[in-house]
């Protein structure tokens, strides 16, 4: 009687299971006898940089922070325009000079407005 | 090393190309040739430690080149440099977070005793006040060869650690603590100034 052609698949599956499980079982046995678990408060701590963790990880930024971010962004973009302006300063016609001056004044006016409104005071809620 | 097999018979078998070993020997052989140090340095000794890990001195020859940035994966802590009192709690905490078996090399005069900064108000007078040290290397700083020598001494120690019976390795003892109390900042000094269970300095007799 010839064995079923599927028998080989069954044998193969058995070996495939035994191949990873055997070392795992051996490691587990080794751990039982020669690797006594020693958990502790420090060892089970989440962070491993040596410094004790303080407070909560899920903190929130104050919503007022977005105003600072926007004001910063305006002057960040302004710097992008100012650098080519400074580089080409000597060769510029008077019209371009006046244009960039108006641009600057507009931004400064915006800053003064925000300042007056109290956007830069951290304690005051707008 | 092994009592189970006669040393002469072993050598004779080895000459014939048959290697006989024991579980303990095999285990220790694997352990001692892959000691992963914790990647942290404190002061100038750390520069020597870096030189030891680099190409000229090449600690990889001894299986110790895998410097781990996480204490969870490290076997060996090389206390390389001056331990300030500000830093000591962090070192003890890192040591506590290392899994057993773990070893400590106290590298240089500062880590041993405070060294040239012993009189400093902020310098810990030896890391062995808080954690058990396996190998001490004197020097200021010790040369890379000295660190390699310490490494070899540590390998010798690991090789001689027994799995069972009397003289069993300490980390296998379930009662042996794996964590040591972390000192806290007191008004003038670390509290306690030394771990009394651990630190037994020799009594100086004046005659």
Shortest CA gap B12–chain A (Å): 31
> pLDDT at residue B34 above 90?
yes
Question: What is the pLDDT confidence band of residue B2, given thresholds at 50, 70 and 90?
Answer: very low
Q: Which residue has the tokens 């020693």?
A: A38
- Structure token digits, residue B159: 């090789």
**In the 8-state DSSP scheme, what is residue B61?**
G
B93 vs A42: CB contact, 8 Å cut-off? Answer: yes
Of residues A14 and A120, the one with the higher pLDDT is A14
B168/A contact by beta carbon, under 8 A? no
Q: B97 touching A, CB under 8 A? A: yes
Nearest to A43 by CA among B157, B25, B93: B93
ipTM: 0.72
Distance of residue A34 Cα from the nearest chain B Cα, in angstroms: 6
Bridge partner residues of B105 (DSSP): B78, B135
CB atoms within 10 A of CB B38: 25
B81 and B111 in contact (C-beta within 8 Å)?
yes
List C-alpha distances in Å: B133 to A55, B126, B161.
33, 10, 16
Pick the residue with more confidence: B145 or A75?
Answer: B145
The alpha carbons of chain B give a radius of gyration, in whole angstroms, of 19
pLDDT tier, A72 (very low <50, low <70, confident <90, very high otherwise): confident
Map tokens 């690797």 to a residue.
A35
Scanning every residue of chain B, which has its alpha carbon at the shortest distance from the alpha carbon of A34? B172
- Which of A38, A45, A50 lies closest to B178 in CB terms? A38
Contact A41 B100 (CB under 8 A): no
Phi, psi (deg, nearest 5) at residue B185: -75, 120
**Where residue A46 falls among pLDDT bands split at 50, 70, 90?**
confident
Contacts of B26 in chain A (CB under 8 A): none
How confident is the model over B52-108, as pLDDT tens digits?
999 999 999 999 999 999 999 999 999 999 999 999 999 999 999 999 889 999 999
Q: What radius of gyration do chain A's Cα atoms show?
A: 35
The closest of B86, B72, B87, B84 to A42, measured between CA atoms, is B72
Look at strands B184-185 and B190-191 and give their pairing: antiparallel
Residue for token pair 């902020």: B122
Tens-place pLDDT, residues B92-123: 999 999 998 899 999 999 999 999 999 999 99
Tell whether the model's pLDDT for residue A48 goes beyond 60. yes
E strands of chain B, at which residues? 76-80, 103-107, 135-137, 184-185, 190-191
Query: Which region, left, alpha or beta, applies to residue B17 given φ > 0 means left and ψ of -120 to 50 means alpha?
Result: left
Q: Which of B91, B163, B179 sits opposite A43 (nearest CB)?
A: B179
Query: Is B177 an 8 Å CB contact of chain A?
Result: yes
pTM assigned to the model: 0.76
Q: Using an 8 Å CB-CB cutoff, list chain B residues near A51.
A: 90, 93
How much of chain B, in percent, has pLDDT values that exceed 70?
Answer: 98
**B9 CB-near residues (< 8 Å, 6+ apart):** none
With cut-offs at 50, 70 and 90, classify the pLDDT of residue B167. Answer: confident
Omega cis (within 30) before B101: yes
- Name the minimum distance, in Å, from the CA of A21 to any CA of chain B: 21
Rounded to a whole number, what is the distance in Å from the CA of B19 to chain A's nearest CA? 23
Nearest chain A Cα distance for residue B70, angstroms: 7
**Sheet architecture: strand order including B103-107:** B76-80, B103-107, B135-137
For chain A, say whether B73 makes contact (Cβ under 8 Å).
no
Interchain contact, A48 vs B173, CB within 8 Å: no
């Amino acid at each position: 009687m010839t064995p079923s052609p599927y028998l080989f698949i069954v044998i193969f599956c058995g070996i495939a299971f035994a191949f990873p499980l055997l070392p795992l079982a051996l490691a587990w046995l080794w751990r039982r006898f020669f690797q006594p678990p020693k958990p502790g408060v420090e060892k089970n701590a989440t962070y491993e940089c040596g410094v004790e963790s303080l407070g909560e990880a899920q903190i929130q930024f104050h919503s007022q922070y977005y105003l600072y971010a926007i004001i910063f962004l305006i002057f960040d973009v302004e710097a992008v325009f100012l650098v080519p302006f400074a580089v080409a300063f000597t060769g510029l016609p008077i019209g371009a000079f006046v244009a960039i001056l108006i641009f600057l004044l507009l931004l400064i006016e915006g800053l003064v407005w925000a300042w007056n409104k109290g956007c830069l005071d951290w304690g005051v809620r707008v | 090393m092994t009592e189970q097999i006669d040393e002469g018979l072993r050598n004779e078998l080895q000459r014939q190309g048959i290697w006989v070993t024991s579980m303990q020997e095999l285990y220790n052989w694997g352990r001692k040739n892959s000691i992963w140090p914790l990647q942290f340095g404190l002061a100038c000794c750390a520069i020597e430690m870096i030189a030891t890990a680099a190409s000229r001195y090449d600690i990889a020859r001894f299986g110790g080149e895998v410097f781990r940035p996480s204490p969870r994966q490290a076997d060996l802590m090389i206390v390389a440099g001056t331990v300030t009192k500000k830093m000591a709690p962090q070192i003890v905490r890192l040591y506590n977070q290392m899994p057993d078996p773990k070893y400590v090399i106290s590298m240089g005069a500062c880590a041993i005793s405070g060294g040239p900064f012993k009189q400093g108000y902020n310098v810990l007078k030896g890391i062995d006040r808080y954690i058990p040290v396996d190998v001490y290397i004197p020097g200021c700083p010790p040369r890379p060869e000295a660190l390699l020598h310490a490494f070899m001494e540590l390998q010798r120690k690991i090789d001689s650690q027994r799995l069972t019976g009397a003289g069993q390795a300490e980390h296998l003892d379930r009662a042996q603590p794996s964590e040591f109390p972390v000192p806290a900042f007191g008004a003038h000094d670390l509290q306690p100034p030394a771990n009394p269970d651990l630190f037994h300095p020799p009594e100086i007799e004046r005659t």
